[in-house]
Structure 1
């Protein structure tokens, strides 16, 4: 199935590109120093490899010694080989933080010894999307993928440790990482804030917050969230901070729903093993939620027809969850998508979407936009993302923890790796 998905995407486009990146994607390395890093080598094949330490390559770079890095649910897309554009030897991981060890001559806001969190998306701060709209995840200058531009009409920002469709940047599941445009893509954090709280400012807390921003969640509203992983849980926490009246988490794993309920007693839960999300929601919420949030992603097809179409390359992304959300949300409501989708879907219920007068928003999170809001909330304890953490291990255990996380073993919700 994975090969068919990638083939369908990669063969459906003709190369084109509008902008050349302003940063050097391939780092220079110090061959006299070695580090451990997690590399992708194929389906379910993550390896701990010794490789050279990266050096400052452009004047606006920093290099950090990583103190904590996490495995994200979206990392499972390349782990299962669903994501196009992966190459053997790619260093993976996009949630990381550490101590600055080397600083480029043009960097102004970061110094050696600073403790920083990196954004998973790589902005330049100077293009229209970064400077005028604060849409750092849509940066024009950090991704050179011709395939992505031809497939989507434009390119997204580069992303650390993901795929060559997003630039092919070395990732953060390593002992050292080079960060370009450091003044834009790093956040200094106080020493008093522990890693387990600061780290999640790299992605999943801003992404959960972004879901509620796109959904215009406000006081008294009802919010239903498909996916009770870390992002879904932090979307629920964000909705609660915004004084939503009811928050309903939907999943098929009891341990995830129980974990969410234990740490967020204000949430309601639905297990789809007890009936469809739609049927259970219709019993719970008379007119439907005001906002529905998709925090699942594209590779969880349930219907045999969608599985078959994905297998032979007739579609890359199933529409099942989106259709369920469209049917469930109230008339005039909002569909917010932060789960990853990559290509084409069949059977999308455009009629219900139009006739119900719905609005839809989606996209990768412009992490840097939300830092000024979220860091103070985390420092004051008004938001605490650390409750999602269930496992903390050395980087040498990284390959094993990918397997544990993917197979939902040991009640695993979120993994932190310690490289140093």
Structure 2
């Protein structure tokens, strides 16, 4: 089978031929991968800015596919089922896991993610445990199913951020795929007073394709609005960029009682300057979102509700590539020419 693997020791990405994995444990499921996305975290991994397996690992933690074989203990799916993957799990033994917060787990959590620490979906086939599988309803396509993992993270973020009263003034920073998914979710929930800030005009045009009527501004235009109106502020700022200067600017644009949602993943060495006095004066809340604990089912529900109105690849700026075009896909994504790249296997 064909795979794209990353070696953290060599800092090298390679297109390789590997044998199809075989089931060796009763709880394993063999998936023929259909669609597998490139995440911003993958780009951080390739740049050496995000920790991953010390051994060569097949990347790809956002993928959908079809079940082709099951271990003897698998009861939740069978051959032919269309599925999406939840790549994150805890150890099920520690206090965090027993408290319902497996994403805090020091053994599992982000330290054992499929496609980061275990072989993932940038491959013709993937071997995953049965508890990492979510069946897709007939109303959800395999293309949409590849968005299950990022939308599950949004679902977790939405739970942490809520309530957000309709009519709130909201700023979304970053118009990559995550920003556009937040735009879609906010519009679905009835929010209309939303501004999107993005320096890349190509990406901003993809947001325009979603036809939400939201204000689409560059960071420069956002600053001009603030200079012209000292009272220019937002009730909620959702950062999808992970870019520290943009996060700082978003924090400064919050009004009294405002909420900052740090959704984009910043590099581990990144820092922001925060004024504790301003936090006190405005009673600002800062909310950070870490992956997707128990939110995959909600994600599939969002996908069903969002449907083709929002989750059309062309509208979202998602471009599909064959796996052997991985270098081109990564290059276009880094350059901001597309909002997201997805491999069609």
Q: Distance in 2 between matches of 1:105 and 1:296?
A: 43
The 3-state SS of whatever aligns with 1:97 is strand
Task: Give the TM-score normalised by the residue count of structure 1.
Answer: 0.73
**Aligned pair in 2 of structure 1 residues 344, 81: CA closer, same or farther (>3 Å)?**
closer
- Which residue matches 2:134? 187
Q: Within the alignment, does 1:170 sit opposite 2:119 as a pair?
A: yes
- Give 1:278 shift: 4.4
User: Do the aligned partners of 1:60 and 1:104 also contact (CA within 8 Å) in 2?
Assistant: yes
Q: Within the alignment, does 1:415 sit opposite 2:337 as a pair?
A: no
**Aligned pair in 2 of structure 1 residues 89, 44: CA closer, same or farther (>3 Å)?**
closer
Cα displacement string for residues 301-352 of structure 1 (whole angstroms, at most 9, x for unaligned residues): xxxxxxxxxxxxxxxxxx4233212211111111111111353555521322
User: Do the aligned partners of 2:192 and 2:214 also contact (CA within 8 Å) in 1?
Assistant: no
Q: Which moved more, 1:340-349 or 1:394-403?
A: 340-349
Q: 1:158 aligns with which of 112, 130, 138?
A: 112
Q: 1:208 aligns with which of 148, 154, 158?
A: 154
How many residues are aligned here?
Answer: 339
Q: Within the alignment, does 1:261 sit opposite 2:183 as a pair?
A: no
- Which residue matches 1:116? 83
Q: 2:144 aligns with which of 175, 190, 197?
A: 197
Task: Give the TM-score normalised by the residue count of structure 2.
Answer: 0.87
Q: Distance in 2 between matches of 1:264 and 1:54?
A: 44
- Which residue matches 1:322? 247
Aligned counterparts, 1:362-401, within 5 A: 362-366=288-292, 368-369=294-295, 371-381=296-306, 384-386=310-312, 387-401=315-329
Q: 1:75 aligns with which of 42, 54, 59?
A: 42
- Which residue matches 2:180? 233
- Give 1:139 shift: 4.2
User: Do the aligned partners of 1:212 and 1:239 also contact (CA within 8 Å) in 2?
Assistant: no
- Which residue matches 1:62? 29
- Give 1:88 shift: 6.1
- Give 1:378 shift: 2.6
Q: Distance in 2 between matches of 1:353 and 1:393?
A: 45
Q: Distance in 2 between matches of 1:46 and 1:249?
A: 33
**Aligned pair in 2 of structure 1 residues 82, 347: CA closer, same or farther (>3 Å)?**
closer
Superposition CA RMSD, Å? 2.7
Q: Distance in 1 between matches of 2:137 and 2:118?
A: 27
User: Do the aligned partners of 1:208 and 1:232 also contact (CA within 8 Å) in 2?
Assistant: no
Q: Distance in 1 between matches of 2:229 and 2:72?
A: 58
Q: 2:268 aligns with which of 343, 358, 365?
A: 343
**Aligned pair in 2 of structure 1 residues 230, 283: CA closer, same or farther (>3 Å)?**
farther
- Which residue matches 2:2? 36
User: Do the aligned partners of 2:44 and 2:267 also contact (CA within 8 Å) in 1?
Assistant: no
In structure 2, list runs of 5 or more residues that go unmatched: none
In structure 1, list runs of 5 or more residues that go unmatched: 1-34, 144-155, 163-167, 301-318
Q: Distance in 2 between matches of 1:125 and 1:249?
A: 39
User: Do the aligned partners of 2:260 and 2:284 also contact (CA within 8 Å) in 1?
Assistant: yes
Q: Distance in 1 between matches of 2:183 and 2:158?
A: 9
Aligned counterparts, 1:242-321, within 5 A: 242-272=189-219, 274-275=220-221, 277-280=222-225, 286=231, 288-297=233-242, 300=243, 319-321=244-246
- Give 1:412 shift: 1.4
- Which residue matches 1:314? none
**Aligned pair in 2 of structure 1 residues 71, 330: CA closer, same or farther (>3 Å)?**
same
The 3-state SS of whatever aligns with 1:52 is coil
- Which residue matches 1:104? 71
Aligned counterparts, 1:10-21, within 5 A: none
- Give 1:112 shift: 2.1
User: Do the aligned partners of 2:53 and 2:118 also contact (CA within 8 Å) in 1?
Assistant: no
- Give 1:250 shift: 0.9
